[in-house]
Structure 1
Amino acid sequence: MKEYRLAAWPDLGPQHRRTAYRRLLSDMSQRHVSLAELCARSGLARHEVGRFLDALSDRGLLVSRDAPRATWPLSLRPLRNWLRRSLLLSPRRA
């Protein structure tokens, strides 16, 4: 899965002067964002967001990367701490 980040703020044409597109640009100017996140945040259809990303890419205004994958093992420290606290706070059995 790819993530996208804005390299420079573009001049928007009349078809893209809507709040949804400005929200996309704002999100991409802050961090790398996936296509699914962009669709969810903007409320635009996937094909609309895809076309917008293609237009930005054609103008050299978009940086893309492969999304980092979660690696195993995940830390179980929060679970261990929670278990320790709940066992210490629960009434002890005789």
Structure 2
Amino acid sequence: MKQYKLCAWPDLSAPFHRTAYRRMLHQMSQRYVSVPQLMHESGLARSAVVQFLESLAERALLVDREHGAPDSMFGNLRPIAWLRRTFSAEDRL
């Protein structure tokens, strides 16, 4: 399942001047979200959400990823922080 994040804030055309669309934009500006999450947040039908995402994608305002992908290429390296703390504590002894 794909997730979407906003990479730039768009100027909305007249059909999208509703609070539901602004809620979706806000969610996508904060983090990656899926279509079901956007449907829940906005209260819109799946077709309306998909149409909105397609209009944003046409203007190159979206970044998408597959669900479960890390936010950065270092997202899976969290254990290294534990190692760093461990070895720095031993250096102080």
Which runs of at least 4 in structure 1 moved beyond 3 Å after TM superposition?
none
**Unaligned stretches of 5+ residues in structure 2:** 70-93
Q: 1:45 maps to which residue?
A: 45
Q: 1:6 maps to which residue?
A: 6
Q: What is the DSSP-based 3-state SS (H/G/I as helix, E as strand, rest coil) of the residue aligned with 1:8?
A: coil
**Unaligned stretches of 5+ residues in structure 1:** 70-94
Distance 1:67 1:30 in 2: 16
- Could you tell me the TM-score, scaled by structure 1's length? 0.72
1:33 Cα deviation (Å)?
Answer: 0.2
Aligned residues: 69
Q: 2:60 maps to which residue?
A: 60
Amino acid aligned to 1:60 = A
Distance 2:38 2:21 in 1: 10
Q: Tell me how large the CA RMSD over aligned residues is.
A: 0.9
- Could you tell me the TM-score, scaled by structure 2's length? 0.73
Deviations for 1:30-59, whole angstroms, at most 9, x for unmatched residues?
A: 000000000011000000000000000000
Distance 1:56 1:41 in 2: 18
